[in-house]
Structure 1
């Protein structure tokens, strides 16, 4: 059954986009940094994180400059796990409700967990791997990068291992759903108050 969506205000309504109705706002449960909005799947483990950060990289926008920025942000997100992170593809992305001149890119990566400490045995509940769908929106005039990260942990027993083989282009249901969420965000994301970027 396809997910249902609802129009969701972000950052006090300065931004808006459609998010799946079965995702909950994490800030109602715990503190979230001011520059972030975090939503988590009430029925699973997937999370959607919006992050307003300072623009990285030189002026202008070319696939090289923006590609480097995308890599820099991915490295910031995964930290020292970068050695166990593999990028499968990246592509230019179109946000339907933003000016076409604003560049955006999306990559799909997977991150393998740290090898279990043999003395402790396997870590229970730790994912086999986590898929990351990272979209970067470059607002040069505002000196801002907006990141939308969808984290999709794949925990043994919670997904069909036969369905997932990214080398063969098989994403499986969890990643397929996350790609749908990302596509819905690209289609519905809108900036209602541009002064937001002066404040953060």
Structure 2
């Protein structure tokens, strides 16, 4: 653990910037990525980090209840019809070091387990995928920024005895992803607020 090297990475043409693990590759160099997304994937593994600029959901103003609902809405959008296979383990308020303290942000950790009938014949289907989802609510800009770290756990690629979220055991892959998330919270900056008028 802790051997990750980070590099300051410009996102959305440099309008945003964040530290990302050096060994993560920009997916848009390989395939088409929507304009409102930046996707990075671990060259040595299966974990991906996605920045997604979306329209703000929910009524104006901010309350734990409304923001919690927004987080749930985004999670449901993310997993689509698989929502009944998702378990949310915890949700916490999150602080971004370089943003105004009054900008609400939240992070949840969830797992999605494929339905048994979907794994037949698909040998590479993960046992489960951990999702670390951070929601940043920019009310003035009518924008929600989602930062999602997807961590597929593929049989043989992780130590099953090390992962038991019910007992608070995250295992190495999720532990690493939490570290990436914390580094993003401390390094993420908005350099050009006009970005949110354009997307």
Q: Is the structural similarity TM-score above 0.5?
A: yes
Q: 1:50 to 1:121 in 2, by over 3 A?
A: closer
Quick one: distance in 1 between partners of 2:24 and 2:114? 25
Residue 17 of structure 1 corresponds to which residue in structure 2? Answer: 18
Deviation of residue 116 (structure 1)? Answer: 2.7
Q: 1:101 to 1:121 in 2, by over 3 A?
A: closer
TM-score, normalisation: structure 1: 0.97
SS in 2 for 1:116: helix
Q: What is the root-mean-square deviation in Å for CA atoms of aligned residues? A: 1.0
Q: Runs of 5+ in structure 1 lacking a partner?
A: none
Residue 128 of structure 1 corresponds to which residue in structure 2? Answer: 127
| Over 6 Å off, 4+ runs | none
Residue 90 of structure 1 corresponds to which residue in structure 2? Answer: 91
1:68-111 per-residue CA deviation (whole Å, 9 max, x = no partner) reads 00000000000010000000000000000001010000000000
Counterpart mapping for 1:137-156 below 5 A? 137-156=136-155
Deviation of residue 123 (structure 1)? Answer: 2.2
Counterpart mapping for 1:59-70 below 5 A? 59-70=60-71
The answer to whether the aligner puts 1:180 opposite 2:182 as a matched pair is no
TM-score, normalisation: structure 2: 0.98
| 8 Å CA contact retained: 1:135, 1:148 | yes
Quick one: distance in 2 between partners of 1:17 and 1:121? 39
Counterpart mapping for 1:48-67 below 5 A? 48-67=49-68
The answer to whether the aligner puts 1:193 opposite 2:192 as a matched pair is yes
Quick one: distance in 2 between partners of 1:23 and 1:196? 24
